[in-house]
Every structure is written in C-alpha cells, then in structure tokens.
Structure 1
C-alpha cells in the first residue's frame, strides 16, 4: 500500500488545495491530509479540519488529521527552508505512520521528501492551474469567490437580517434585494406555522424559531456571497414578550444560526396594509417599539431604513449593503 501526505494550513481551503489533493489521490492508495495550525491564527483549526472532512466525506482514501503546533518548536514560515523542513520531518516521523510520498506545491516538498526518506512530487508550483493564494482570499474573499469550494463559501457569506414590525415591506424588500444581488433569502416563517398573529401560542414561537434557524443553516449553502434573512430570533423573542410577557428560551444552535453581520431595520413610517393576518395598526406600532427595545437590550446595532416611498427604501438598502461590503474589504 502506498501512503501519501499533503501538508498545509488550508486557511482557507481553496480550489488550489483541492486540485493538489485530487492529484495526490490518483497516485497513492491512502492520503493523509494534515491540517497544521499554530496558535492565534485567523481561522480556527477545527473549522479547517471540518472543511477537509466535509469535502472528502465520501472518499475513504482521505485521512484528515489535525496538528496544532508550537511555533517555538516548529517554526512557522512561508519560505521553503531546508533547516525548517528537517525539523518538521523529524516531528512528523514521530507522530505519523510511515509516508511513502509527499505531495506539495512548494519547494519544501523536496526537502521534506529527503528527510522523510520518501518520494516527493511537486504539483503546479507556479500556480498556473489555480492562480490564487489563501492570503488573497482572506483579504478579499468576494473577488476570489469562484476559487472557493462549496464547503467553504458559507464561512465567508455575509448574513444580512431585515427587521421591522408588521406591514413595513420586509417581504417585498427582501425579495428585491435577492434579485438585485443574485442570491437567496430566508422568509419569515410565522406564516408557515399560523394564519393570524392573534392566534399565536408560545409553542408556535418555538416552532417558528426552530424552522427559521434550520432554514438559515441549509440555505446559506446556496447563497452567492450574501444571505438575506427576514427577521431573526430577537424578533421572535420580542413577540414572546409582547404577546405573553415571557422570555423565549432557545437551544444554542438556534442562537448560532442567528448570528448576523448586518442588520437593516424598516421603520413603521410605511403605509399600513391589513392583509387579514396582521395586528391592528395601533398594535403594529406598539409592536414596533417592543422590537426596538428588544434589540437595544441585546446590543444590536442596526441601520434604520425610513420613508413611505418603497423605491427609496430599496435604493437606501442597496446603498447600505454595498457600503458594508466595501468596509469589509478594508
């Protein structure tokens, strides 16, 4: 049996890494993909390992492994240095089974092969096949979006939540933003559960929270850089206090799904429309204050979208989103 090794930080995993791993898989019977991570790096080691595991979950030849190392023991350098390679090779001899061939896209592969007493194969060192680096992606993931595997894209997808009381145009604005930015959205889930706000029960609110968070976790896999979400768990909490004067307690996974990058709040100065499912206009406005108090209590900073002109609201929202994306690049 021929055992291969691919060693890297995978910070993040990108299509260049995938090309290297696939190249290696065609030339060995078993491939250890070793994620090396030192302390205080911008992407968690566990996340990087999970990317490898998910990308190759259906390939039994791939053995993902994680190495968290101390830079005082194993130097961290982007240069291919013979002395550094020898230190790493000696360490790997003690912690890995015997390696028959190491695959790399950098010159250190030759040094490592010599010190591991194994064959070495260099793949696409000039990076002509996949012309990208992990540093480029970290600095500007949207520009290099097409170089990301599907398993990594959710990590860099910006989640944008639209807040607002009833009859403020959230549904319509969300759909317009989806079309403008060519992506997907999560609708408000209340209407999937009940027909009228006045018929809501405490159990309904928990069901809404679960359905909504589950949809976020699934739909983000399909998103094109941005995921728009109509309301979040904080609004469901606000309903719980407004309707029942009770705190809504949800599992941690729901909290995690409802972690957003940007919040837009549609003010209540829009024309009220009763579609047969909503509160009265007076209660709608009271609910608006409840929502805002809930967000203040949780330290949520949002951008207020005002006005009775729907087109102006749309243009303002697009402007805010574009400016946010620019800020993320800096």
Structure 2
C-alpha cells in the first residue's frame, strides 16, 4: 500500500489545491493532507480543515490533519531554502514515517523529498492549469471567486435578504437588484409551493423552510460572491404563528443557511395589489405586524426601505454598496494579516 501526503497553508483553500490533492490521490492508496498553521496566522485552523474535509467528504482515502507550529522554531512553510526544507523534512518524517510520496506544486518539494528519502511528484508548477494562488485570492476575492471550491464559497459569500409583508415588491426588487449587481438572486420557495395565501397548511410551511434553505445553499456555491434573497425563515415562522398560532420547530441548519449580512425590510407603504392569491389588505397589514414581532423576537436588525418602486431600488442599492465596501475593506485588512503566500 502506497501512502502519500501533501501539505500547505490553504489560506484560503482553492481549486488549484483541490486539483493537486486529486492528482496525488491518483498515485497513492492513502493520502494525508497536512494543514500547516503558524502562530502568526489569524485564519483559524478549524476553518481551513472544514474546507478540505467538506470538499473530499466522499473519499475515505483522505485524512486531513492540522499541524500547529511556532515560527521561532520552524520557518514558514512558504520559504524555499535548503535549511527550511531540511527542518521541515525532519518534522514530516516524524509525522509520516511510513509515507513514501510527497506531492507539491512548489520548488521546495524536491528538496523536502530528498531530505526524507522519498519520491516527489510535481503538480502544475507553472500554475498553467489553475492560474491562481492564495495570495491572488486574498488581494482580489471577487475576481478570483471562480477558483474557490464550494465549501469555501459557502463560508465567504455575502447574503442580502429582502423581507416584508405581502405586496411590498420583494420579488420584483430581488430580480432588479440581482440584475443591477450582476449577482445571483434567490426567489422565495413559497411562491412555488403555495399558490394561494389563503389556502395552505403547516406541512407546506415546513416544506417551504427546507426548500428555501436548499435554494440558498445551492446559490451560495454558485458564480457570484453576492446573493440577493427574497424572504427568509423568519417570514415562514411568522406565517406559522399568524395563520395557525403555531411556533414551527426548525432545524438549526436552516437558520444557518438563512443567516445574512444585511436585512432589508420593505415597508407596507407601497400600494396594495390584489392578484387573487394574496391576503386581504387588512390581513396583509396585520401580517406586517407579525413579521416585525418575529424578527424582533429573534434579534434580527433590519434597514427599513420605503417609498415608490424606484425609491426602494435606490435605497437598497446604496445600502448594498455600503455593505460590499465594508466587506471589501474588512477582507483586505484580514488579508494583510495573512501576509504569507
């Protein structure tokens, strides 16, 4: 049985890393993936570990390990030198005494293998197949989004949720905003499951909760680092209490899927339009009170959106642009701390 290993910082884990691991798997029966985390790094080791484990969760041949080290005792793993390679080779020999293969995409890979007395296989050293690096991603996350595996996207995506009672323009605004920002819009599952707001049951609400969370999860792994989402789980909970005086029991995972960076609440000052499937205007306004109460109960803070359709769009655009600017500045500040490649 041939055992091999790969090692790296994975800050963040990207598709080049993923391809290297798959390449290594084609040459060994068991593969250890070592995440090297120094005492000077701020990206938590468990986050990196989850990224790799989730990406390869269906392959039993892979074991993901974390190695915490002090840079006063061991040099940074990105350093290419004979001394650094010799020191790390000794550490790897201790960790993997029965491994006979190491796979890297860096020049120091050959040096490490020589000091260990094992075989080195190089993968895409010129970055031709995947022209990306962790440092490039840290410097420009939106432009390199396509190079992130699904597990990484899901943890870094920005979510904006539109909330409000019926006939306040949530669906229309979701579509308009997603087109404006060239991002992914997630439409509410309720419209496809319940055709008439006056005719539905508790089971329908549970189905909506699951399906809407699934739609958000799928979109979070898509082509855009920004999601605009029509409605969330709190609105479904509100319908349960409003229509049936029942508090729905919802899995924690559904709440996590629905968690967002910005909540926009559309005021009911918009003209009421009865399309034959909605509540009466009186019930629509009572539902607005229910929504606000549920959001307050769960500690959800919203930005209020008012006015006509264009005014709502303009207010939402400003708030989303401000959010994205804050997120970008925060990412750059974070990336500056991760000053290693």
Instruction: Compute the TM-score of the two structures, normalised by the length of structure 1.
Output: 0.84
Shift of 1:143: 2.7
**Aligned partners of 1:322, 1:64: CA distance in 2, in Å?**
41
1:92 and 2:95 are equivalent in the alignment: no
Seen in structure 2, the aligned counterparts of structure 1 residues 30 and 185 have a Cα distance that, compared at 3 Å, is: same
Seen in structure 2, the aligned counterparts of structure 1 residues 50 and 225 have a Cα distance that, compared at 3 Å, is: same
Structure 1 residues without counterparts, runs of 5 or longer: none
Residue in 2 that maps onto 1:41: 43
Residue in 1 that maps onto 2:339: none
**Aligned partners of 1:7, 1:69: CA distance in 2, in Å?**
10
1:208 and 2:208 are equivalent in the alignment: yes
Deviations 1:76-119 (A, max 9, x none): 62423555544443343344363444232334323321221123
Residue in 2 that maps onto 1:65: 63
Deviations 1:266-321 (A, max 9, x none): 1111111011121221221221122122212222122221102x122222222222
Residue in 2 that maps onto 1:240: 240
1:112 and 2:112 are equivalent in the alignment: yes
Residue in 2 that maps onto 1:220: 220
**Aligned partners of 1:272, 1:76: CA distance in 2, in Å?**
66
Seen in structure 2, the aligned counterparts of structure 1 residues 239 and 23 have a Cα distance that, compared at 3 Å, is: closer
Shift of 1:4: 4.3
Given that 2:238 and 2:291 are in contact with CA atoms closer than 8 Å, whether structure 1 keeps it comes out as: yes
Instruction: Compute the TM-score of the two structures, normalised by the length of structure 2.
Output: 0.81
**Aligned partners of 2:34, 2:20: CA distance in 1, in Å?**
14
Aligned length: 323
Seen in structure 2, the aligned counterparts of structure 1 residues 129 and 312 have a Cα distance that, compared at 3 Å, is: same
After superposition, the CA RMSD in angstroms is 3.0
Shift of 1:21: 4.3
Seen in structure 2, the aligned counterparts of structure 1 residues 231 and 304 have a Cα distance that, compared at 3 Å, is: same
1:321 and 2:320 are equivalent in the alignment: yes
Deviations 1:139-180 (A, max 9, x none): 541132233345543332222211011000011111112222
Residue in 1 that maps onto 2:181: 181
**Aligned partners of 1:183, 1:173: CA distance in 2, in Å?**
13
Of stretches 88-97 and 214-223 in structure 1, the one that deviates more from structure 2 is: 88-97
**Aligned partners of 2:237, 2:18: CA distance in 1, in Å?**
42
**Aligned partners of 1:4, 1:304: CA distance in 2, in Å?**
55
- State the secondary structure of the residue aligned to 2:143: coil
Given that 1:161 and 1:229 are in contact with CA atoms closer than 8 Å, whether structure 2 keeps it comes out as: yes
Residue in 2 that maps onto 1:144: 144
Residue in 1 that maps onto 2:274: 274
